[in-house]
Amino acid sequence: MIDLRYVKKLIDILDESTVDSIEISSDKGMKIRISKSPTQRGAVQVAAPIPALLPAPAPAARLTPVEGIPAVGEAEPPKSAASVTPLLEVKSPMVGTFYSAPEP
């Protein structure tokens, strides 16, 4: 059995010193460990994930009205087959994919 006065004296000595922890074992197989800082056995410290830096949003482009093209929200006049301009419609193979150039 460990004497309680002995343990208290060890604690006082440890508090007065610069030593962080002490471990003493007796010839009878008794071990005592006293530490100033708490330790957790089996605890694993995991670093928090670093959030990825997001690119700054691009400034909004200024829209200037173009003659002959109705602004958003304005009613479009009905189109006739003769008034349609010859534009090439390119369809994307995936929904939501925008191709600004024909090739990369």
Dihedrals phi, psi of 45, to nearest 5 degrees: -90, 125
The per-residue pLDDT for range 72-92, each reduced to its tens digit, is 655 555 666 556 677 877 776
CA distance 22 to 13: 10
In whole angstroms, what is the distance from residue 34 CA to residue 14 CA? Answer: 8
Supply the mean pLDDT for the chain.
71
Distance in angstroms (rounded) separating the CA atoms of residues 25 and 30: 6
The model carries a pTM of 0.33
Cα 79 versus chain centre, distance:
51
**pLDDT per residue over 2-30, tens digit each?**
778 888 888 888 888 888 888 888 788 78
The amino acid at 11 = I
Q: Token match 């008034």: residue? A: 83
Residue ranges per domain, the chain?
A: 4-35
